[in-house]
Amino acid sequence: MATKPEKVSVIGAGLMGAEIALVYAMAGHPVMLTDTSDEALGKAKTRLADILSKGVTRGHFKEADTAGTLNRIRPTVKMADLADSDLVVEAVFEDEKVKAEIWGKLDKIVKKGAVFATNTSTIPISTLASYVGPERRPNFLGTHYFSPVSRMKLVEVIPAFDTSEAAIATAFRLAEGAGKVAIRVKDVAGFAVNRVLHAFLIEAVRLVEEEVVTAEELDTACRLGLGHPMGPFELMDAVTNSLTLQAQAIMQDSYGERFRPRPLLKQMVQAGRIGRKANAGWRVGPGTK
């Protein structure tokens, strides 16, 4: 890291944004964390304190690495406070309109030369880049983190049409400095990891539809036979079936039949069995194991 650590700003203090702020703060960067209300920011800080203390107890983080981390995260609801950022990571709702408005504002506020990174899972990076001015576009790219960000090491770095090699190099350097492993991926629907993941999840649901195995058995099979840390149904319950369905619909649009969501997944979502959030899913709630 340079002698003076770069200033990082994160927009959106939800599931992803708060932990993205945490990993940069843990790496010694001053971090501004912004959301629409002080309440959301307060909740995020409480969650981060919990992640840090549990992480130390469980041996995921060394206590020395966590010292001062929370103090380096400055919550603010004022976009103007982000003017001096070197890296801006946007992790707000997966809604093009919301993201467009934010990037339009940031374009006017943040100093020239800052790297602009969106954490979108499904909106093309080149589409979001079009919401900043042409002189800003060489510094606009996607950095796709994985949940839980404080534990998952991968970041997909996705250049848009006009992204410069310098911006890509900066995104790699900063992510790697924060303990991540970055890979470069082309701007296609699902990027790389979600394409392979959803092909797998679709086949998992098909196996249950065909009564080849139960959801519980396949989770066990994937843990013990493939070395996965959690099975496909536990994973869908965690990320929600509704998000899974949404991602598959977007990939079906791009790649056709091979990503058509399975009828059983659609039924689960229509019945409100979206996963842990609703305490009803494949492996949580009434009638499940």
Ligand X SMILES: NC(=O)c1ccc[n+]([C@@H]2O[C@H](COP(=O)([O-])OP(=O)(O)OC[C@H]3O[C@@H](n4cnc5c(N)ncnc54)[C@H](O)[C@@H]3O)[C@@H](O)[C@H]2O)c1
Q: Give the residue with the Cβ less far from ligand X, 47 or 223.
A: 47
- The residue from 29, 144, 198, 242 that is catalytic is 144
Residues, the chain = 289
Q: How far apart are CA 145 and CA 17, in angstroms?
A: 10
State the nearest-atom distance from the C-beta of 3 to ligand X, in Å.
Answer: 31
Active site residue 60: no
Strand, coil or helix: what is 110? Answer: coil
Q: Give the residue with the Cβ less far from ligand X, 5 or 191.
A: 191
State the nearest-atom distance from the C-beta of 288 to ligand X, in Å.
Answer: 22
- The residue from 6, 156, 241, 242 that is catalytic is 156
Active site residue 198: no
Distance between alpha carbon 61 and the CA centroid of its chain, in Å?
20
Measured in degrees and rounded to the nearest 5, phi and psi for residue 11 equal -100, 120
Q: Give residue number: closest CB to ligand X.
A: 14
- The residue from 121, 139, 241, 242 that is catalytic is 121
> Of 218, 223, 190, which is closest to residue 205 (Cα–Cα)?
218
Q: How far apart are CA 30 and CA 85, in angstroms?
A: 10
State the nearest-atom distance from the C-beta of 41 to ligand X, in Å.
Answer: 9
Active site residue 156: yes
| Chain positions contacting ligand X, by CB under 6 A | 11-17, 34-36, 40, 91-94, 98, 102, 119-121, 144-145, 147, 239
CA within 13 Å, CB half, 120: 30
Active site residue 121: yes
Q: How far apart are CA 284 and CA 35, in angstroms?
A: 31
Sign of CA dihedral 73, 150, 172, 200: negative
**Residue with the two structure tokens 């304190």:** 49
Q: Give the residue with the Cβ less far from ligand X, 172 or 191.
A: 191
Q: Give the residue with the Cβ less far from ligand X, 92 or 215.
A: 92
State the nearest-atom distance from the C-beta of 13 to ligand X, in Å.
Answer: 5
- The residue from 9, 119, 139, 194 that is catalytic is 194
Hey, which residues are catalytic here? 121, 144, 156, 194
